[in-house]
Structure 1
Amino acid sequence: MYEQFGGLVDNTTQTVTFKLFIPDGERAPHQYAGGGLPRIRQVYVVGSFQDPNHNKWDLNAPILMNSSDYIDDKDVLQGLLYSYTSGQLPPGFYEYKYLVEFENAPSRLISDPCARYGGTENQNSAFVIGGQTEIVQALKSPRLPYQELIVYELMIDDFTANYKTLDEAPFEAIVRKLDELVDLGINAIEFMPWTAWAYADSPGKDFSWGYNPVQYFSVAYKYVNNGSNETNKLVYLKRLINECHKRGIHVIMDGVFNHADALLPSLGFPYYWLYQDPADSPYVGNFEQAAFFKDLDYANRCTLEYIRDACIYWIDTFKIDGIRLDNTLGIYRPGNRGVGLPKLLSELRGHLSRTGNKNFSCILEHSWDYAAIDVTNKVGATSCWLDNFRSNSMSYLGDRPQGFPQIEPSIMRMLHEGKDFDPGRGPTTYIENHDHRRFALKAGGRQYWYLTQPYVIALFTCAGTPLIYNAQEYGEDNDMPEDGHGRVVPRPLDWNKYATEPSPQIFQLYKKLIKIRKDHPGLTSLNFYPNNWEDGWALPNPQGFGIHRDKNVVVYHRWGEDKHNRLERFYVGLNFSDQTQSVTFEVPDQGPWEDLLTGTMVRANNGLLHVDMASNWGFIYYKKY
């Protein structure tokens, strides 16, 4: 429903129709149970389209919008619709706002909650007349299950800042790096939020990770801004997705659906300020765990429909392949499948089923710990971020160079990340993401990158979907505080330094492990041995598997089927110490067994493999049956 609202352009007639929907909790009580009436007297629209030749607004002559009942395609009254259609406009980029008069409060200039574009300043809404067009095409080959993806988390600003040209939009610049990412081996990009966020000054100066959204149908202005062409905006995002799809790269959108930024009336979330008393807004309220900004209230049907329709807009129009749902603790009510997260995912799955959209991924950022597994299963999500892999690895790695890596028995549960997931679901694992300090920095800096090797081997040999972050594959080691001031600031990637050592060595390690992961589907299974490990167990079991704490080594067994239903077995060893370590463990036959890391072939003696592991390294012994 909400995709029918906003500033909708007809390029045939070169006109725009503004449609602002307000749900009615009195005449259409199914829309919301909590909240009050907006108390709107009338709505006007103002913007640069009023004087297109000079691109000027005329606040002294606002254009009155018509009001009428909005009845949906099922003949159900939903609320009021304010609308206005312009005359013919010349090609260009136009900004606008609604001027809202209330019964008993000063008028407000408010953005469009369903705008397709963010404006250049003051959190304006915008639309484009003319410009180039692009239709997004789906992936050429069938979409892969999420478990078969290697995901690259990409922060658009930092990724492009140091190589983007002045007459190039960030989305255009990313296209020029796609072949390098393909060479690395990734087959999915998770873009940090591209939807319009709140800014107090201008989008060119303000910086955000995008987790303070205000317009859920809109693209952030700075990501589509090309200084030499004002009409080609959304076309750059559509072309980027097409270029990804041509290369077999799945596109995952980071969606922030639990809260919105209110700021001031003219800058914040429109559906908060469209009510005379913002406390009456049914879209905003503490639904479950309060987090940041203004929480969205999923107890009200209008909120769920607004977010659901925004998701459908990105799915249908931009052919995205998945959504990561940020901080779902705020939209999950335990034991209630009729509201919030489970209801949202249920209705999205219904839409995906009706449209034949297969293997679409819904990834949760929930509690970051093992409790998220149960929620993932209950709500029918594809995956969840499990931060235990990162946080435990950081703890074991220690503070370099003063400390020394020391693994603990808890590593066995960390490595068994697939435990307790229902079939077809699994974790998203990582040792680094946008929220935390760089892993190479924890090791002591790029010169100590070799200390990270066993952790990287673990990342690509465990269950779930591996995720790597902006330039992790080159050992980026810029710092970031874990909390407080200085977290959300620009950290532009210096791509020039990645031609010098140790960057090429690190890149080749990631490339090798990604190839191993992609060549061997058995590694995507949830199978893991030893299945259970007590925290007090610091020595291998009688078969040679588990942790040897004093040696600082681990051995585990993974298995699964390849694409031809043939069994693949993997025996993985990790040496976190600064010395060569010897291990012995049982295998089912003589072999030969191939170490996928080095190509070395060995045979078992009396059912046992005896292996020496180099320091800060490991092995992946493999055989197909």
Structure 2
Amino acid sequence: MTRAMQPITIATKVAILGIVSALLLAFIPGQAIAAPPATVHLTIHYQRAAGDYDTWNLWLWKNLITGTDGAISPAAGSEFTGNDAFGKVFTADITGMDAFDNIGIIVRKGNWLKKDIEVDRFITQFESSGNTEIWLVQGDPVIYPAQPTSKKEIRSAQVDDFRTITVSLSQKMVLAGTATEGFTLTPALPITAVKALNGGADGATQLALTLGADTTLGADYTLDQSDYGSAKVSAGKIVESSGFNEKFVYTGDDLGNTYSATETAFRVWAPTASAVSLLTYATATTASADAKVTPMTASTKGTWVAKLSGDQNGTIYDYRVTLGSTVNDAVDPYVRATTVNGLHGVVVNLAKTNPVKWVAKKPTFSGKSTDAVIYELHIRDLSIDSSSGVPANHQGKYLALTDVNTALSDKTKTGVAAIKDLGVTHVELQPVFDFASVNETSPSFNWGYDPQNYNVPEGSYSSNPSNPTARITELKTGIQSLHDQGLRVMMDVVYNHVYDAAAFSEEKIVPGYFFRKNEDGSLMSNSGCGNDVASERPMVRKFIVDSVKYWAKEYNVDGFRFDLMGLMDITTMNAIRAAVDKIDKTILIIGEGWNTSGLPEEVRGSQKNIGKLVGIAAFNDEIRDAIKGSVFNGTDTGYATGKAAAKASVETGIIGNVFYSRDYIGTWTTVDPTQSVNYVEAHDNLTLYDKLLGSVPDVSASTIAQLDRLAASIAILAQGVPFMQAGQEFLRSKDGDSNSYQSTDAVNSLKWNLRSTNAATVSYYKGLIALRKAHPVFRFSTTPQVQKNLTFLTTSNNVIAYSLKGSAVKDSWGTVVVAHNPNATAVTLTLPAKGDWKIVVQGSVAGVKAISTLKKANTVSIPPQSTLVLEK
């Protein structure tokens, strides 16, 4: 998923399950129709109890249940257009609605700083006239078809410290100056003071209650007030307090189930529970009421333990957690196998899941990230199209990774054979952990950025998702196959959010701990997905580090790509690096360092803090957008498509965003080029081919291919870590779909016949990769190497040219010149020295062998819209 923060890309769809709730549907009076008319005359009223409307706005879209949504709101959101006695008002005419199912709506603060409520809402009923008017109230998920009558109520109450309860009210309360202000707590604890947290003389909607004694974790408290009614008290910031951490941070390595042939031990961290039981099931479909219940015993640091004797391999189990009057059944967060669709945990003897030829040895790799060439691949995309040549029973499955000799009828390689032939070093698999957005019994396409069970492989890619071990063995088999082909394997991991916060196992076991919250108690959603994982909390950090270690050890994974790394804290990211170094120092870690987070800026795992992240690289959106144009505007051009103003940013990317001189200061600065992931295409946004079609629409197919090669060559030859999406090398298209996360296979699948159609471009990519791998002059790993051995040359007509000193890194080539010409005509370049220069990249040809030699030359002509590489 994400991607350079496009909140609509996931938020609009992840929460679509909310449609099933009648509370979230708008039923418009009058002659209501289910299908929207061509034009909807929309009026939205919105009320906040405290009248604090500053920077609150709307995010609206034309929604399709299946397919690509249409935009309503601009990138900055839709501002309210007026006011009335109720609150803020928004009016607009929405055209073209007859091509869509309904209207999606999010009330948000600023640019996704927070959402009013966690779930997205959808207007699904419309008057035949097109007039549609609704009312929304802060913190209330109901879409009202008429103005609601406001009533006094306690919106939320949460324990923020052992002696503090924070209260949110629907209407302002004027404090009388009494100790309790009419509040009582059950079970009884004395209330000694009430303090207003907002408002003024006319009252407050946010209050802090001070208690005269400590609250008890696991107790079921109810808060009452004579005028505002009652509300259950939930765990709030108490789980963030130093006192909580001192009492309940567990450091052992036995959370989850620990299997042996003679017994299996279970340990779960549930410090706020009053009781925990182990549930075991006869079958995957056994009802929870029929489960065998084994009480667990309270142990150290908030953990609970139990043991089952005998060989429990295959035992299906969950935990039952009692939290006051609430009882939750939850999957073990540390579970390593599950039943179909991840509904129950399963004990597994992992030694029996290893494939026959499973070996720990990996393809040789230096561990230096600039020596890598990363290829982003979706398991289903690889083989679901018939052109893949993969057997039908392997199509869309892990086992397609074992089909290593597939080809088209003209002998053009496909699938894994094609990837190996291209010459990349690392295959990065888009999410293969268990995600919730696909029914494993009837698989369909989804990117998979919707975590459900972090330590379990996704079952829809398995030949038998009902067999808990099949997915494990088959993923291992696929990884081993890639290793056998000389390809290292990376995992795309999503520890920044989950699919459904309320249903997530950790939230059921320790409510309020796993996710960040806003001051009003609502979930933060800087991910745009309804929740942000609180990686900074010790037991969340431990869970993430333990999970990464598990994949690295058990599955021989060679690297990790962290989705929305900017939402992770620096301490956690560095702890991950330290942990994997103890397993294999050559493991790569890269991530999306977008600076969008609920954390203080100085602790975010962002581009701006890359200097604090040791041995970790971040995606370089500066060079990406400079080369091809902004990903947020399909028609925007970049350097490769004629935008002269982008030249400086491209040059900054070419040096890996290191500090080179005051003339080359980027939007962020790396410690060294190993921290810059250079790319022009990834699964997010338009493919490079589609971007070129949209930004330079009136050119020939051959020119599009030419521009593609120019754009790709800039990124691949730049100092840093080259990265590409599968199929980029053969001009992959997604039919202009910039957000194909749940689009059809027809949109997403790799059409391997294009590898034959666009063979010249494939050969060009292959040549660039071979050139980079053969010559360390393209792979500087320190800033001094870049500063001393890369020199930008004086050019004209917006050409970028630079020389590289090969002797500094013991390259067989003494001097290399790279020149990029975005012009539609040839441009003459003055070379840094007169001599015999061998051309190795020119026009549509790239590689390590000389195409031609210039004798005693001090100038060279750079062909139009292309890259030229020479050496002497």
Fold shared, TM-score > 0.5 on shorter chain: yes
2:439–2:460 contact (8 Å) kept in structure 1: no
* Structure with greater Cα Rg: 2
- Structure 1 residues 8, 396: closer, same or farther in 2, change over 3 A? closer
Code of the residue aligned with 2:869 in structure 1: it is I
Tell me the equivalent position of 1:254.
492
Root-mean-square deviation (CA), in Å? 3.6
In structure 2, relative to structure 1, the CA distance for the partners of 1:194 and 1:59 (3 Å cut) is same
Per the alignment, residue 290 of structure 1 pairs with 526
Matched residue, 1:414 = 650
SS in 2 for 1:117: coil
Change (3 A) 1:532 1:508: closer
Distance 1:120 1:165, change over 3 A: farther
CA contact (8 A) 1:46 1:96 kept: yes
* CA 194–404 in structure 1, closer or farther in 2 if over 3 Å, else same: closer
Q: Give the Cα separation in 2 of the matches to 1:443 and 1:151.
A: 22
**Deviation digits for residues 337-386 of structure 1, max 9, x if unmatched?**
xxx32x2233334334444x2232221211289x9544222121431101
CA–CA separation in structure 1 for the residues paired with 2:816 and 2:790: 18
On the 8 A contact 1:153/1:191 being kept in 2, the answer is: yes
2:266 corresponds to: 19
Consecutive unaligned residues in structure 1, runs of 5 or more: 25-36, 71-76, 332-339, 534-540
Q: Does the 8 Å CA contact 1:42/1:101 hold for their aligned counterparts?
A: yes
Over 3 Å counting, the alpha-carbon distance change for 1:65 and 1:284 in structure 2 is: farther
Partner of 2:713: 457
Letter in 1 for 2:354: T
- CA distance change for structure 1 residues 444 and 45 in 2, over 3 Å: closer, same or farther? same
CA distance in 1 between partners of 2:789 and 2:806 (Å): 15
1:302 aligns with 2:302: no
1:560 shift after superposition: 4.3
Which residue is equivalent to 1:60?
289
Deviations 1:475-503 (A, max 9, x none): 111135446xx6432434243522542x2
Aligned to 1:582: 827
- Residue 348 of structure 1 corresponds to 576
Amino acid at match of 1:569: T
Deviation, structure 1 residue 157: 2.0
**Deviation for aligned residue 1:282:** 4.6
* C-alpha distance 561-120 of structure 1, shift in aligned 2 (>3 A): farther
The TM-score with structure 2 as length reference comes to 0.58
Report the Cα distance in structure 1 between the residues aligned to 2:856 and 2:507, rounded to whole angstroms: 68
Separation (CA, whole Å) in 1 of partners of 2:727 and 2:807: 32
1:137 Cα shift?
1.4
Q: Structure 1 residues 195 and 430 mapped into 2: Cα distance closer, same or farther (>3 Å)?
A: same
1:6 aligns with 2:245: no
Q: Give, in whole Å, the separation in 2 of the partners of 1:372 and 1:59.
A: 43
Q: Give the drift of 1:293.
A: 2.9
1:484-495 equivalent positions in 2, closer than 5 A: 487-490=741-744, 491-495=747-751
Superposition deviation, residue 153 in structure 1:
0.4
Find the partner of 2:325 among 104, 109, 113.
104
CA contact (8 A) 1:392 1:411 kept: yes
1:252 alignment partner, SS class: strand
The count of corresponding residues between Structure 1 and Structure 2 is 556
Instruction: Give yes or no for the alignment of 1:365 onto 2:592.
Output: yes
Residue aligned with 1:346, SS: helix
Shift of 1:122: 6.2
Match of 1:29 in 2: none
Deviations 1:48-69 (A, max 9, x none): xx15xxx651433322234234
| CA distance in structure 2 between the partners assigned to 1:604 and 1:592 by the alignment | 8
Name the counterpart of 2:362. Answer: 139
Instruction: Choose from 754, 763, 771 the match for 1:508.
Output: 763
- Match for 1:479 among 721, 729, 735? 735
For 1:36-435, list aligned pairs within 5 A.
37=272, 39-47=273-281, 50-51=282-283, 56-70=285-299, 77-85=300-308, 88=311, 95-105=316-326, 107-121=327-341, 123-128=343-348, 132-134=353-355, 135-162=358-385, 163=388, 165=391, 167-168=393-394, 170-176=397-403, 177-199=415-437, 201-202=439-440, 204-205=442-443, 207-226=445-464, 231-262=469-500, 268-275=503-510, 278=511, 280-282=512-514, 284-285=516-517, 290-291=526-527, 292-331=529-568, 340-341=569-570, 343-355=571-583, 357-367=584-594, 372-395=606-629, 399=635, 405-417=641-653, 418-420=656-658, 421-423=670-672, 425-435=674-684
Per-residue CA distance 1:242-284 (angstroms, 9 max, x = gap): 22223332221112122222255xxx32001124xx3x33555
SS of the residue aligned with 1:518? helix
5+ residue gaps, structure 2:
1-250, 404-414, 597-604, 659-669, 695-700
Structure number with higher relative contact order (C-alpha < 8 Å, ≥ 6 residues apart): 1
Aligned equivalents of 1:40 and 1:184: distance in 2?
58
Question: What do the CA deviations read for 1:135-180 (whole angstroms, capped 9, x no partner)?
Answer: 4413143544110111100111222322554543721102323332
Amino acid at match of 1:174: L
Q: Give distance in 2, aligned partners of 1:499 and 1:351.
A: 40
Q: Indicate the residue corresponding to 2:854 in structure 1.
A: 602
Distance 2:692 2:525 in 1: 35
